[in-house]
Amino acid sequence: MDIKDLENKIDELISLCDEFERKQAIMEADRETWLRERTRLLEKNDMAKNKVEAMIMRLKGLEQD
C-alpha cells in the first residue's frame, strides 16, 4: 500500500465519520420529537380517562336518584 492509498482510506473514513455524525444528529432530533409526542399523548390519555371517570360518577349519581 502506498501513501496515496492510505490518504484515500483516511479520506473515506473521515467521510464516513461525518455521515455518521449527521445521521446521529438527525436521530437525536427525531428522538426528541417522539418524546414530546409521547408526553402529549400521555397527557391526552390522562384527560380522557378523567372525563370518562367523571361521566361514570355522574351516571352513578343519576342511578341513585
Q: What is the value of pTM for the model shown?
A: 0.66
pLDDT tens readout for residues 3-20: 999 999 999 999 999 999
pLDDT value for 19: 98
Report the percent of the chain where pLDDT is more than 90. Answer: 89
pLDDT value for 27: 98
- Domain extent, residue 63, equals 1-65
pLDDT value for 63: 85
Question: Would the CA dihedral through 48, 50, 53, 59 be positive or negative?
Answer: negative
Number of domains in the chain: 1
Residue with cell 455521515: 19
As a whole number of angstroms, the distance between CA 9 and CA 36 comes to: 41
SS3 at position 12: helix
